[in-house]
Structure 1
Amino acid sequence: MHQRGTLAALPFTLRWLILIVLAGIASVTMSAIGLPGGQFIGPMLVAIALALSGISLTIPRPWFNLGQGAIGIMIAQAISFSVLATLADYWLAMLVLTFLTLLMSFPVGILNVRYGGMPGSTAAYGTTPGAASVMVAMAEDNGGDPRVVAAMQYVRVVCVVLTGAVAAHYLHNGSASAHASSHADELQTVHVVITLVLLLAGSAIGRRLLPGGALLGPVLLATPLHLAGWIDIDLPAPLVSVAYAVIGCYAGLRFDRETLLYVLRAIPLMIISSLLLILLCALSAAVMLHIMDTDYLSLYLASSPGGLDSMTIIAMDTHANVGIVASLQILRLFAVVFIGPWMATQIAKFAKPSASDG
């Protein structure tokens, strides 16, 4: 059944043990060397390596949903009245930045469709920025190959996360480092219980009502209560670390060997186009720096064509303006959900005539 010499031949429990131990070691190591988002990046890189070695594991979707819910709770904790005031003052600039990100993805998408050697709608959905899981689902509904779309989306996620971590290292906002530790000194049981209830309820409700609802649900549920002073959000540090690792492993394990071999010829172009889009978004963030009263790191992370969860993790680790990063990523998430199919249709028109899309 399993190929000789692959990790898939090992017992199921042992494979999980290998993943958990190596992801834990990577998380601790990355954090120890001070890499922004290290508790997310370390497990993701380990998961990629194990997936390509044939470990044949997938993170159950409910675990991933709860991991995203934990990030949503942390976003709610970071939102304050001063953040809301900034958003109110610069809502037009934020709309412009969202539009610029989507606009710049067009030529990059056309480049990938025209010269990537893949069917039109498959390549189009694979190059549409943000909302990776949503694009995979849309591709499956509209004749694209979801395996290839997933590979393209997550190759870009890896590029965005790694370049974002490097940029954050050099642009680090050296302000207060007591953000997480002030709560960890003395956990109040009632606050922890309330926080976990909001996480579970918000994630469950959000999944049924919203795109990306597992993350957005807790944000929408907990933020008003937090701003009103009715609750103190308190997530235990070990739970946060586990949430980071689950999200990282979920992305990393998608890189199965079969899929990557299928798109191997296009990977160089996928990486180049991902880096090009990241560069264009970085330039747009530099332009917006002269309009919005915030730091460049926050705008860079907010405009990066990665996932809401991964960019928020890096923003929190580097003390960037989480409110602005999360708000712009959420805004683009909804924009992609509503106009993504139209974008994919337009990009697909540039495919070579010989490409066929089942």
Structure 2
Amino acid sequence: METPKNRQGGSDNIFLPKLAQARKISLRWICLLALSAILIGVFLAIHLAAGLMLGPMIAAIIMAIRGKNVTISRPVFALSQAVLACLVVSSLNMTVLIDIAHNWWLMLFSVFSVIIVSFATGAALAWFGVMPGTTALWGSSPGGASTMMLICGSFGADPRLAAFMLYFRVILVAFATSIVAWLVSAGHNIPYLPPVPKGDLLPTLIFVVVTGLISTRIKFPAAPLLLTMVIGAVIQLSGLFAISTPQWMRIPAYLIIGWSIGLRFTLPVLQHAMRALPAVIFSSTILVGTCALIAIPVAKLAHIDLLSAYLATSPGGLDTVIIISAGAPVDLPFIISLQTARLLAVLALGPLIAKPVGRWLENHSPKRKTSR
């Protein structure tokens, strides 16, 4: 006969595994937060731009490689992207839009030159048999990494290898642009976080929550970022209310974006991609360097500073570039307009280019001919 004591023991046996799991997850979060704080402190001590994102990114990579992953829910990530979008649109005005409209031809040149260079790099990897053609093309695409990773699997690419290529380049771009911004900003007495324009905080908070949560139900890549940008630009330019992103909103968004990128680098992903690692490093370096060279004529033709042009043509993720740009003396609206235009162009042209060209490369590459 079951006694109350036995029933209590059975109840304990049910809850003990859940309690142990909760403790394990809590310990992982504590370790991630502590490691992130240490790395952020190091980066801020040397005034490195985007230190609030790079520190958490590296901490998350260390945790992911060791198999100590944590999970960031989709709504939390969406809210973080919505905050970044608000950071962008808070600096918009009609003068900026008129200036962008006057430089439409330069936008086209910048967008398509980077797309051509990126897909050419991927085509070279496929031609020499380093990786499958479609995967190489999607992995080299200059759209936002999270966006490309969401759609590449639907067009015949290996999501694990493409994710490694995309996020490796994001990290490379993040470090390269942060160091360049740090060097350029030396002597300008740039604060850790730039001053926040005055605005209407409560309407902004409501707007972030509404667009962030609605966008999670929209099956469109980068929906939280793009939807909030579009609606936020209308609100800002119409004068309905002034969008404001105080530091206590931006800092958690930086942390979550950094963690989200770093946690992608799990040990299975790295093991799967290890064979192609030298080629990925080489091709990513070439791509980032070539885009930096494209920035030189863009800066001269647009009459902007070289750092702004460099960030505008940089083939990293849109959210990453926003964070880096926010901590440097640059033309943020020009950078974001160029990055957004390129993201939309890749979304439109990527499926038309990657699958047919990737298959052709796989069938006609010298390595495949040799193996026949």
Specify whether residues 127 and 317 from structure 1 end up closer, same or farther in structure 2 by C-alpha distance, changes over 3 A only.
Answer: same
Asked which structure has the greater CA Rg, the reply is 2
Decide whether the 8 Å contact of 2:36 with 2:59 is kept in 1.
yes
Structure 1: how far apart are the matches of 2:120 and 2:193?
A: 41
Summarize deviations over 1:193-236 as a string: whole Å, max 9, x none.
Answer: 21111112223444527542201222222223223333232223
Instruction: Between 264-273 and 251-260, report the one with greater CA deviation.
Output: 264-273
Decide whether the 8 Å contact of 1:206 with 1:216 is kept in 2.
no
Decide whether the 8 Å contact of 2:89 with 2:229 is kept in 1.
yes
Structure 1: how far apart are the matches of 2:331 and 2:164?
A: 30
Structure 2: how far apart are the matches of 1:71 and 1:107?
A: 31
Structure 1: how far apart are the matches of 2:42 and 2:279?
A: 31
Show the counterpart of 2:45. Answer: 32
Match of 1:48 among 61, 70, 86: 61
**1:65 matched to 2:86:** no
3-state secondary structure, aligned to 1:254: coil
**1:254 matched to 2:267:** no
Match of 1:272 among 269, 279, 282: 282
**Counterpart of 1:280 in structure 2: which amino acid?**
T
Structure 2: how far apart are the matches of 1:39 and 1:276?
A: 27
**1:200 matched to 2:209:** yes
Structure 2: how far apart are the matches of 1:287 and 1:163?
A: 20
Specify whether residues 145 and 101 from structure 1 end up closer, same or farther in structure 2 by C-alpha distance, changes over 3 A only.
Answer: same
Summarize deviations over 1:38-83 as a string: whole Å, max 9, x none.
Answer: 1011110111111112212232222211111110000011212232
Instruction: Between 157-166 and 214-223, report the one with greater CA deviation.
Output: 214-223
**Counterpart of 2:119 in structure 1: which amino acid?**
F
Decide whether the 8 Å contact of 1:124 with 1:348 is kept in 2.
no
Structure 1: how far apart are the matches of 2:194 and 2:315?
A: 30
TM-score in terms of structure 1 length: 0.88
Decide whether the 8 Å contact of 1:47 with 1:253 is kept in 2.
yes
Show the counterpart of 1:342. Answer: 352
Structure 2: how far apart are the matches of 1:226 and 1:138?
A: 31
After TM superposition, the structure 1 = structure 2 runs for residues 237-316 of structure 1, keeping only pairs within 5 Å, are 237-316=247-326
Decide whether the 8 Å contact of 1:172 with 1:297 is kept in 2.
no
3-state secondary structure, aligned to 1:349: helix
**Counterpart of 2:353 in structure 1: which amino acid?**
M
3-state secondary structure, aligned to 1:130: coil
Show the counterpart of 1:4. Answer: none
Q: Report the CA distance between 1:114 and its aligned residue.
A: 2.8
Q: Any gaps of 5 or more consecutive residues in structure 2?
A: 1-20
Decide whether the 8 Å contact of 1:132 with 1:150 is kept in 2.
yes
**Counterpart of 1:166 in structure 2: which amino acid?**
I
**Counterpart of 1:162 in structure 2: which amino acid?**
F
Q: Report the CA distance between 1:175 and its aligned residue.
A: 6.0
Number of aligned positions between the proteins: 344
3-state secondary structure, aligned to 2:170: helix
3-state secondary structure, aligned to 2:330: coil
Percent identity of equivalent pairs: 33
**1:81 matched to 2:91:** no
Decide whether the 8 Å contact of 1:123 with 1:348 is kept in 2.
no
**Counterpart of 1:349 in structure 2: which amino acid?**
W
Show the counterpart of 2:119. Answer: 106
3-state secondary structure, aligned to 1:350: helix
Structure 2: how far apart are the matches of 1:348 and 1:155?
A: 24
Instruction: Between 104-113 and 130-139, report the one with greater CA deviation.
Output: 130-139
3-state secondary structure, aligned to 1:14: helix
TM-score in terms of structure 2 length: 0.85
Structure 1: how far apart are the matches of 2:245 and 2:152?
A: 36
Structure 2: how far apart are the matches of 1:255 and 1:348?
A: 27
Summarize deviations over 1:150-201 as a string: whole Å, max 9, x none.
Answer: 11110111111111111112223866857966549xx98xx32211111122
Structure 1: how far apart are the matches of 2:98 and 2:176?
A: 30
3-state secondary structure, aligned to 2:29: helix
3-state secondary structure, aligned to 1:133: helix
**Counterpart of 2:295 in structure 1: which amino acid?**
A
Show the counterpart of 2:4. Answer: none
Structure 1: how far apart are the matches of 2:227 and 2:187?
A: 31
Structure 2: how far apart are the matches of 1:182 and 1:119?
A: 46
**Counterpart of 1:79 in structure 2: which amino acid?**
L
Specify whether residues 348 and 267 from structure 1 end up closer, same or farther in structure 2 by C-alpha distance, changes over 3 A only.
Answer: farther
Match of 1:329 among 300, 325, 339: 339
Alignment RMSD (CA, Å): 2.5
